[in-house]
């Protein structure tokens, strides 16, 4: 799925309950994440739910996999991965995730703790894309 497709799909959803259900559906589409990858080094700090994130670099582009123990967070992870996967470090740094988050209609409907966790994931991705 592309960023444009994601924005278009969310544009058809007019109320929060529909968006919430769609986020859960998106989370179900995440790649499998093995139990052996759920280690402290891969855990994202700052999230209320447990979130694990793995990155790798290939041909100057970054690839991320992640999961969570919470359905809604898994959906947020899917959204985030659509925005940052298969990009260079400079492209990842330049993605205006806050604006896209607002365009998706998610900013006003998530609890402050979920929103903080989402932005903690973003910071971890930005850090990892500079570190490897």
Active-site residue (options: 23, 47, 83, 84): 47
Residue 35 per-residue DSSP state: G
Which residues are within 8 A (CB) of 37 and not within 5 positions of it... i.e. 6 or more apart?
52, 54, 65
For the question of residue 47 being annotated catalytic, the response is yes
**Length of the chain counted residue by residue:** 132
Separation between Cα atoms, residue 116 and residue 69, nearest integer Å: 17
Separation between Cα atoms, residue 73 and residue 14, nearest integer Å: 20
Structure tokens at 96: 């205006």
Separation between Cα atoms, residue 29 and residue 25, nearest integer Å: 7
Positions marked catalytic? 47
């Amino acid at each position: 799925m592309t960023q444009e497709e994601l924005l278009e799909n969310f544009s058809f959803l007019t109320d929060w309950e529909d968006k919430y259900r769609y986020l859960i559906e998106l989370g179900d589409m995440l790649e499998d994440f093995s139990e052996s990858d759920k280690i402290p080094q891969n855990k994202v700090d700052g999230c209320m739910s447990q979130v694990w994130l793995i990155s790798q670099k290939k041909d100057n582009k970054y690839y991320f996999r992640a999961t969570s123990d919470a359905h809604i967070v898994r959906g947020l992870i899917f959204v985030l991965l659509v925005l940052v996967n298969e990009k260079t470090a400079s492209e990842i740094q330049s993605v205006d995730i806050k604006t896209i988050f607002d365009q998706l209609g998610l900013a006003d409907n998530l609890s402050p703790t979920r929103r903080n966790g989402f932005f903690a994931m973003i910071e971890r991705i930005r850090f990892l894309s500079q570190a490897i």
